[in-house]
Structure 1
Amino acid sequence: MNTKYIDLISQTFYFPQDEFTLDGQFLKFHDIDLKALVETYGAPLKFTYLPQITNNIKRAKHWFSNAIDKHGYQGTYNYSYCTKSSHFKHILNEALKNDIHIETSSAFDIDIVENLKQEGKITDNTFVLCNGFKRAQYITNIARLMNEGHKNCIPIIDNYEEIDLLSEEIKGTFKVGIRIASEEEPKFEFYTSRLGIGYKNIVPFYKNQIQNNDKVTLKMLHFFINTGIRDNAYYWNELLKCLKVYISLKKICPTLDSLNIGGGFPIKNSLAFDFDYEYMVDEIINQIQIACNDAGVDVPHIFTEFGSFTVGESGGAIYEVLYQKQQNDREKWNMINSSFITTLPDTWAINKRFIMLPINRWNDTYERVLLGGLTCDSDDYYNSEQHMNAIYLPKYSKEKPLYIGFFNTGAYQETIGGFGGLQHCLIPSPKHVLIDKDANGNITTKLFSEQQKSEDLLNILGYHSTSNKQELK
């Protein structure tokens, strides 16, 4: 009878896979020796495998290049990274090696752009697409960037007041895009996205505020739906509605030449993950070309804004199982030495799934378990109720430590969890390790941040504050 963990995985999935292989009974991820990583840095730890960022950017560029060549498409493709997925400098540095553009969403993003420009990572030819609802500081920062000569900064208009606000601070002419307020899936509790301007209102908005405005040029139409790019009737229907708006605008606005189809490419969240990226790209290009040809208008240049797809599959987290609690005759709780709420907040906030596999003991027998975090919160768990599949792991043994890894966690977790700040129940943030390859293709590691210490948290809380006290008058 096959009762080893390796047997369970081999019988359930195609294994090994491109990024997951075994070295004896130890798991490797992109040829990274995870056993050695734990031995060097301990657990819990987080890591970022930087080369995967470049790998995914190149994959997407390849798919679009093939589709454009196949269909004789006359527009260009422009890959943009939406920084909100991860603002860290090491992430941007890696992504910008690949001749890409940037999408921002708030005022401080522009400060990051200016920092990257000073270091030569971004040039005036880099498109900076400014999305989001624009408060005063965001408007000011966009204007500063454009006034300093960055003409490829394109504010994406989100509401009716932004044209006037931008015009007050930007010297000279400037280009803009308009975001479509897409309609949400029927299961949503609201009908239309809060972001952007409604389908029926975009042409009147252009006529009222842009068409006869000598200072403003419409360059781009922006389309994005919350559920991302999926091969379903909802996505294709929304895309066709977007194309109708583009065609209507193009017929009265010759300067409109770009369509931003947003982002939302899914990332691998299971060993059974199956998504035909190449087909989706090919069909998107095909649908855009058919609609434009039928209407007798030029096809647009294509922009995408990939965040999770860019950075998500570069990240991982490793924990140690500290203890097993048998709470009743059916439920065994494996307690990890960290917290899901603080280190992987998407697992409880939006019930997101990640690939979870043991690092060691693949030749041991397995059991069904629940995974619990260290906080006092009842939601600090990861199990089959929140997720589609039951969790099976090598049997707990006090004498044989078990390490488990969560993979493809690189997008959003640090910013949602509050990197470097307070964590629920004051559970410290774990170490974070950057993994790269040298010129010879050898794996290298570097400690990016230490695990939080009590002094770090006490300083934030004001117990060890050394800041100057100012008497209220």
Structure 2
Amino acid sequence: MNTKYIDLISQTFDFPQEEFKVDNNKLSFHDIDLMALVEEYGGPLKFTYLPQISNNINRAKQWFANAIEKNNYKGKYNYCYCTKSSHFKHVLNEALKNDIHIETSSAFDIDIVENLKAEGKITNDTYVISNGFKRAQYVTNIARLINEGHKNCIPIIDNYEEIDLLSEEVKGKFNIGIRIASEEEPKFEFYTSRLGIGYKNIVPFYNKLIKDNKKVKLKMLHFFINTGIRDNAYYWNELQKCLKVYTSLKKICPSLDSLNIGGGFPIKNSLGFDFDYEYMIDEIVNQIKTTCEAEDVAVPNIFTEFGSFTVGESGGAIYEVLYQKQQNDREKWNMINSSFITTLPDTWAINKRFVMLPINRWNDSYERVLLGGLTCDSDDYYNSEQHMNAIYLPKYNRDKPLYIGFFNTGAYQETIGGFGGLQHCLIPSPKHILIDRDEDGNLTTKLFSEQQKSEDLLKILGYAN
């Protein structure tokens, strides 16, 4: 009878997989010996595997190159990284190795752009697509960037006042885009996105405020839906509505030459994940070309703003199971040495699921468990994987420590959790390790940040200087 944990995984999924392998009873991730990482740095810990950022960027660029060639598409493709997914310098440094562009969301993003420009990581040829609702400081910072010569900074107009606000501070002419306020899926609590301008209002908006405005030039139409890029009727219907607006605008606005389809590529959240990226890109390119040809307008250059897809699959977190609590005849709680609320807040805030696997003891028998965090909050738990509505792990044994890993956690967790700040119940942020490869392909590791100490938290709270 096959009762080992490795038998369970092998029988349930196609395993091993490209990034996950088991050798000598231990899990490796992109050939990283995770137990060796734990033995060197201890736990709990988070890590970022930097080469995966470049890997995903170049996968997407190749998929678009293939689709453009296959469809004989005359426009160009530009990959933008959505900085709000992770603002860390090591992330931007890695991403910018790959001839990409930047999408910003707030005033301080522009300060980061200027810092990267000063270091030569970004040039005036780099597109800076500035999204978000713009007021005061954000407008000032965008204007400063443009006034200093960065003509490829394109503010995306989100409401009717932003053109005037920008015009007051930008010296000379500048390019703009317009964001479409997409209609959400029927299950949403609202019908239309709060971001952007409604489909029916965009052409009148152009005619009233842009057409005869000698200071601004419309270059881009921006389209994004909250559920992301999915192969379903809703996505294709919204894309067609967007293309109808684009072709209508293009006929009266010769300067319009770019379509930004936003982000929203999903990332792997279970061993059973299956998404045909190449098909989706090919179909998007095909539909854009087909619609433009039918309306007799030139096809646009295509921009994307991938955030989670860029950085998500580079991240991971490793915890130790400290103790098992048998709370009744059915429920066993494995208590980890950290907190889900503080270190993986997406699991608590939006019920997000990640790939979860044990780091060691793959040849041991397994059991069904719940995972509990250290805080006193009843919501600090993780109890299901999307593929099986349960968690199975090697059986708890006080004398055989068990380590578990959560993978593809690289997007948003530090931002939502408040990196370096106060955490729920004052649970400290874990140490963070950067993992890279040198020119010979050998793994290198570096401690990016230590686990928070009590004095760090006491200083924030005003108890210490």
> What TM-score comes out, normalization by structure 2 length?
0.99
Question: Residue in 2 aligned with 1:228?
Answer: 228
1:282 matches 2:282: yes
Question: Residue in 2 aligned with 1:454?
Answer: 454
- Give the aligned residue type for 2:179: R
Question: Residue in 2 aligned with 1:3?
Answer: 3
Question: Residue in 2 aligned with 1:391?
Answer: 391
| 2-structure distance, mates of 1:171, 1:363 | 67
- Give the aligned residue type for 1:36: A
| 1-structure distance, mates of 2:358, 2:135 | 46
Question: Residue in 2 aligned with 1:337?
Answer: 337
Question: Residue in 2 aligned with 1:440?
Answer: 440
Question: Residue in 1 aligned with 2:132?
Answer: 132
How is 1:195-234 mapped onto 2 (pairs within 5 angstroms)? 195-234=195-234
- How far does residue 94 in structure 1 lie from its aligned partner after superposition? 0.1
Q: Please give the per-residue CA displacement for 1:52-104, whole angstroms capped at 9, x wherever unaligned.
A: 00000000000000000001000000000000000000000000000000000
Question: Residue in 1 aligned with 2:193?
Answer: 193
Question: Residue in 2 aligned with 1:321?
Answer: 321
Question: Residue in 2 aligned with 1:263?
Answer: 263
SS in 1 for 2:36: helix
| 2-structure distance, mates of 1:129, 1:455 | 40
| 1-structure distance, mates of 2:129, 2:146 | 12
| 2-structure distance, mates of 1:295, 1:207 | 20
Question: Residue in 2 aligned with 1:158?
Answer: 158
Once the two structures are aligned, what percentage of the paired residues are identical?
Answer: 85
What's the Cα RMSD here? 0.8
Could you tell me which runs of 5 or more consecutive residues in structure 2 were left unpaired when the two chains were aligned: none
- Give the aligned residue type for 1:346: D
| 2-structure distance, mates of 1:329, 1:248 | 65
Alpha-carbon spacing, 1:386–1:18, altered in 2? closer, same or farther (3 Å): closer
Alpha-carbon spacing, 1:360–1:385, altered in 2? closer, same or farther (3 Å): closer
| 1-structure distance, mates of 2:439, 2:127 | 30
Question: Residue in 2 aligned with 1:411?
Answer: 411
- How far does residue 386 in structure 1 lie from its aligned partner after superposition? 8.7
Alpha-carbon spacing, 1:342–1:190, altered in 2? closer, same or farther (3 Å): same
Question: Residue in 2 aligned with 1:56?
Answer: 56
SS in 1 for 2:369: strand
SS in 2 for 1:146: helix
Q: Please give the per-residue CA displacement for 1:1-49, whole angstroms capped at 9, x wherever unaligned.
A: 1000000000000000000001110000000010100000001000000
- How far does residue 148 in structure 1 lie from its aligned partner after superposition? 0.2
SS in 1 for 2:448: strand
Question: Residue in 1 aligned with 2:65?
Answer: 65
How is 1:50-129 mapped onto 2 (pairs within 5 angstroms)? 50-129=50-129
Total equivalences in the alignment: 465
SS in 2 for 1:176: strand
| 2-structure distance, mates of 1:395, 1:385 | 18
Question: Residue in 1 aligned with 2:253?
Answer: 253
- Give the aligned residue type for 1:85: S
Runs of 4+ in 1 over 3 A off after TM superposition: 385-388
Alpha-carbon spacing, 1:13–1:388, altered in 2? closer, same or farther (3 Å): closer
- How far does residue 384 in structure 1 lie from its aligned partner after superposition? 2.6
- How far does residue 397 in structure 1 lie from its aligned partner after superposition? 0.4
Question: Residue in 1 aligned with 2:21?
Answer: 21
- Give the aligned residue type for 2:400: K
Q: 8 Å contact 1:351–1:386 — kept in the other structure?
A: no
| 2-structure distance, mates of 1:141, 1:263 | 24
| 2-structure distance, mates of 1:136, 1:341 | 33
| 2-structure distance, mates of 1:58, 1:384 | 33
Q: Please give the per-residue CA displacement for 1:395-447, whole angstroms capped at 9, x wherever unaligned.
A: 00000000000000000000000000000000000000000000100010000
Alpha-carbon spacing, 1:410–1:171, altered in 2? closer, same or farther (3 Å): same
Q: 8 Å contact 1:353–1:387 — kept in the other structure?
A: no
Q: 8 Å contact 2:385–2:391 — kept in the other structure?
A: no
| 2-structure distance, mates of 1:175, 1:74 | 22
- How far does residue 385 in structure 1 lie from its aligned partner after superposition? 8.9
- Give the aligned residue type for 2:191: Y
1:429 matches 2:459: no
Q: Please give the per-residue CA displacement for 1:275-327, whole angstroms capped at 9, x wherever unaligned.
A: 00000000000000000000000000000000000000000000000000000
| 1-structure distance, mates of 2:191, 2:377 | 33
Q: 8 Å contact 2:156–2:177 — kept in the other structure?
A: yes
- How far does residue 389 in structure 1 lie from its aligned partner after superposition? 2.2
| 2-structure distance, mates of 1:385, 1:24 | 25
How is 1:31-46 mapped onto 2 (pairs within 5 angstroms)? 31-46=31-46
- Give the aligned residue type for 1:414: E
SS in 2 for 1:368: strand
| 2-structure distance, mates of 1:43, 1:332 | 22
Question: Residue in 2 aligned with 1:364?
Answer: 364
| 1-structure distance, mates of 2:36, 2:360 | 11
Question: Residue in 1 aligned with 2:174?
Answer: 174
Could you tell me which runs of 5 or more consecutive residues in structure 1 were left unpaired when the two chains were aligned: 466-473
SS in 2 for 1:193: coil
Q: 8 Å contact 2:343–2:414 — kept in the other structure?
A: yes
Question: Residue in 2 aligned with 1:292?
Answer: 292
Question: Residue in 1 aligned with 2:143?
Answer: 143
| 1-structure distance, mates of 2:440, 2:385 | 45
| 2-structure distance, mates of 1:256, 1:385 | 45
| 2-structure distance, mates of 1:77, 1:37 | 39
| 2-structure distance, mates of 1:41, 1:318 | 11
SS in 1 for 2:80: strand
SS in 2 for 1:111: helix
SS in 2 for 1:6: helix
| 2-structure distance, mates of 1:303, 1:312 | 20
Q: 8 Å contact 1:67–1:281 — kept in the other structure?
A: yes
